[in-house]
Amino acid sequence: MDNVYSKLVDRNIGILTEEQQKKLEKTCVAVFGLGGHGGVASQLLARSGIGKLKIVDIEKFETSNLNRQVYCYMSTIDKEKVDVAEHFLKDINPEIEIESFHTTNGETINKMLDGTTVALLCIDDVVPSIHVARACRERGIPMIETGAMPFQNLRVYTKDTITFEEFHDFPTQRIKTEDLYDLDENIRGQIKRKLVMAFSDIKGIQNFYNSEAIEKMKKGVFPTFAPMVWLQATMIALEAVKIILNWGKISLVPKYALYDPIQYEIPTRSAVKRTLINLFDHFIRKNKEKIILLIYSLFLPSF
């Protein structure tokens, strides 16, 4: 067991410097959700030499998870995802520090983000997702998100970008965080429709879904396929490393990374309007006082 970490990361050196590797060893990453994306990403981060992971998931593994979730086997069905993931992660690196949680309430979210450098948003429930996104922004912690669709997609939110809710145009932007968990069915329905339509402007995406799949998506059940899910998980794990090391170009919203692995091309997005509206709204909010002063100076007579 001596020098496990140095042997684990030995082949990293050459792509990473020893200084970069030491930085990863001292870094904590929070992974919200251990399903398709979060499970694979957490394992890749452990194998990359991240020194500490904070992980959370409220579910147990079930048979339908076998098609894509890296910690799901017949032997782990009905077991807590967090417990299974922690076992595998420590089997990869016995020296890794794991802090695990089984709930996604406000207290847990705060504990997950304490001492964290970057957060991975990999949970399906939109309410705690909004809570996590807001908490990350308040703390200045970059948050990485990806959507469950056939094309590879990756978005990073920071304190300087538009918000998670602005990007998705959620009707929750003026609702207090403590009131999010009591949303009425009308608002929840609006959110589901926003999620279904979020990427409808991307050329070629409609070809993957028939009418039956679209109806399932409206109910919150999205089709998934392991090679596509794992590719996305690889992207978000690498993006976390890039953020930690200040390495390369980061996929900041609203202009985010997008890739069609079937046609080997970058799809075009036709609906620029929503992005422009979001950017304009963000600019107005950020510069409200300056704009008011400008209006006064232009339209009010001087005394």
All structural domains of the chain with their residue ranges: 4-269, 271-303
Angle at 267 between CA 151 and CA 207, to 5 degrees: 60
For residue 281, give the amino acid letter: D
- pLDDT value, residue 303: 39
Q: Between the CA of residue 124 and those of 2, 153, 154, 274, what are the distances in Å?
A: 39, 16, 16, 23
Spatial contact of 175 and 183, defined as CB atoms under 8 Å apart: yes
CB 169 within 8 A of CB 144: no
160: tokens are 């300087």
Give me the chain's average pLDDT, please.
Answer: 89
CA distances to 54, 59, 134, 216, 283 from 110, in Å: 11, 20, 11, 33, 28
Domain 4-269 has CATH 3.20.20.60: no
CA-to-CA dists, residue 265 to 66, 151, 204, 302, angstroms:
29, 10, 11, 57
User: What is residue 265's predicted lDDT score, i.e. its pLDDT?
Assistant: 92
Q: Say if residues 126 and 82 touch (Cβ distance below 8 Å).
A: no
First-residue to last-residue Cα distance in the chain: 80
Please give the chain's pLDDT, 303 residues, in tens.
458 999 999 999 999 999 999 999 999 999 999 999 999 999 999 999 999 999 999 999 999 999 999 999 999 999 999 999 999 999 999 999 999 999 999 999 999 999 999 999 999 899 999 999 999 999 999 999 998 889 999 999 999 999 999 999 999 999 999 999 999 989 988 998 888 777 777 888 878 888 888 787 777 778 899 999 999 999 999 999 999 999 999 999 998 999 999 999 998 775 444 555 455 555 555 665 666 666 655 555 543
Count CB atoms within 10 A of the CB of residue 175: 15
Backbone angle region of 251, left / alpha / beta, with phi > 0 → left and psi within -120 to 50 → alpha = beta
| Alpha carbon distance 238, 236 (integer Å) | 5
d(CA 126, CA 132): 10
> In Å, how far are 37, 141, 184, 273 from 178, measured between CA atoms?
27, 20, 14, 31
- Please give the torsion angle defined by the CA atoms of residues 77, 83, 89 and 91, in that order, rounded to the nearest 10 degrees: -80
